[in-house]
Amino acid sequence: MSNWQKWLTITLLAGIIGCTAFAMGFGMGRHIFPSSPSAVVRVQQEQQEQFQVFWEAWRVIQDEFYTDKPLDQEAMMHGAIRGMVASLGDQHTVFLLPTQAGLFREDLQGQFGGIGVTVSRTEDGLLRVMKPIAGSPADKAGLQSGDLILEVDGKPVQQMDLLQAISLIRGPEGTEVRLLIRRAVDGQGSDLLLRRAAIDVPTTESRMLDDRIAYLAVYECNARAPGEVRDQLRQLLAQQPQALVLDLRGNPGGYLYVATEIASEFISNGLILYERGKDGQEIRHEARPGGVATDLPLAVLVDKGSASAAEIIAGAIQDNERGVLVGEPTYGKGSVQTTERLSDGSALQITIRRWYTPAGRQIQDHGLTPDIEVKATGLDVATDHDPQLERAVSYLLSLQSR
């Protein structure tokens, strides 16, 4: 073998070995290693075929849609998420635009610019005023419980979801918002211009009623609620009450852990609720020991506006026979949501589990039925008359005289 033949052989061998190694590495890189650190790419691969139709539609719009303004791809993408989420048919699984997600966070922190009113959705898609905060812009403008909001800044609320409507009503402190409302009292329409103010989410309120009956209202199960409830209960207990009315009317809920915390103030031991997720696994939430009002006779006021975390508290009290529920059937939200932030600041609120009362009741769509049913009428609201509270008090007094 001459020298050049030797070198040629070596070079060829080296080339073959190198190429083989490269090919093996290429195959390895494609198949054995995870395709990407982000789940995003993996999903695209799996869903690509099923999702073909979306790409076709996207392409048609890019190529063919005639409009005066340039296409807003971000709005199209947000629309696609909203439509995808809507197809799930679960009203509690919702997409929040970055601004809405921001408002949502503000809300749980307990302060924002707004008009100072709690609202709920009616069956025909309007907003019902639940509870104007004393001294708030809504209160000053004469809004009352039961009034219906039809339009916000000229936009009909029926065409938006609840969060959109709320985010329209809220806004920076000092700015104005126009509401078209229908009064509960006389059914008259009215156009109101309100100046937004800083609203502290009122979380609790307490006082002593006649006959040494203590009264504690919890308006929202936000992060501040457990501490406030405990403080208020201590102050009330110092005045030696013979019984307690816990008012959960209009309480739309909040954090699940807050519900177990508050329920634990009244229930010394036992189950508060349990959850069941998609894997069928049960998560049990027991009462935390050390509650401050576990013996006091108790009546709980509930209505259609008591939802979610408020229903957890009421359901635990009812099933543990710790007290009676007085008022109207509750809202009926038996699911648990998590909020997931997406990378552009928008967020998804996703139903992840169902929850059940200690006795295993699923309250979705049914709500809790009060032990003592007392309806409140628009007239009661207008005349500042509270038959539900009166009935709760008379029930508690009857316990005492027995």
Which residues within the stretch 25-44 sit at the binding site for other proteins (CB under 8 A)? 25-31, 33, 35-36, 39-41, 43-44
Q: Does 390 interact with other proteins (rule: CB under 8 A)?
A: no
* Least distance CB 68 / other proteins (angstroms): 9
Q: Respond yes or no: is residue 308 known to be catalytic.
A: yes
CA distances (Å), origin 122, targets 8, 281, 383: 86, 34, 23
* Least distance CB 47 / other proteins (angstroms): 7
Which of 307, 309, 302 is closest to 328 using CA atoms?
302
3-state secondary structure string, 282-343? EEEEECCCCCCCCCCCEEEEECCCCCCHHHHHHHHHHHCCCCEEEECCCCCCCEEEEEEECC
Under DSSP, the state recorded for 400 is H
Stretch that binds other proteins, among 62-70, 165-173, 294-302, 310-318 (CB under 8 A): 62-70
Q: What is the pattern of x (binds other proteins, CB under 8 A) and - over residues 159-198?
A: ----------------------------------------
Q: Does 280 interact with other proteins (rule: CB under 8 A)?
A: no
Q: Respond yes or no: is residue 333 known to be catalytic.
A: yes
* Least distance CB 348 / other proteins (angstroms): 5
**Size of site (CB under 8 A) for other proteins:** 77
Q: What is the pattern of x (binds other proteins, CB under 8 A) and - over residues 354-373?
A: x-------------------
* Least distance CB 343 / other proteins (angstroms): 6
Pick the catalytic residue from 120, 167, 304, 333.
Answer: 333
Stretch that binds other proteins, among 49-57, 141-149, 179-187, 378-386 (CB under 8 A): 49-57
| Residue from the set 6, 51, 257, 282 that interacts with other proteins by CB under 8 A | 51
Q: How many CB atoms lie within 10 A of CB 226?
A: 22
Residues 324-343 that bind other proteins (CB under 8 A): 335, 338, 340, 342-343
Strands 213-218 and 204-208 come out as antiparallel
Q: Does 282 interact with other proteins (rule: CB under 8 A)?
A: no
> Which of 4/33 has CB closer to other proteins?
33
Are 330 and 314 contacting, i.e. CB atoms less than 8 angstroms apart?
yes
CA distances (Å), origin 157, targets 95, 151, 182, 199: 17, 5, 13, 22
Residues contacting 200, CB < 8 A, separation 6+: 110, 111
* Least distance CB 284 / other proteins (angstroms): 17
Residues 77-116 that bind other proteins (CB under 8 A): 77-88, 90, 93, 95
Main-chain phi, psi angles of 72, to 5 degrees: -105, 95
CA distances (Å), origin 44, targets 60, 80, 83, 85: 20, 15, 18, 18
The continuous run of DSSP H or E covering 132 comes out as strand 127-132
Q: What is the pattern of x (binds other proteins, CB under 8 A) and - over residues 9-28?
A: -----x--xxx-xxxxxxxx
* Residue 271 token pair: 């189950």
* Least distance CB 335 / other proteins (angstroms): 7
Residues 19 and 16: their CA atoms lie apart, in Å, by: 5
Residues 300-319 that bind other proteins (CB under 8 A): none
Q: Does 388 interact with other proteins (rule: CB under 8 A)?
A: no
* Least distance CB 23 / other proteins (angstroms): 6
Residues catalogued as catalytic: 308, 333
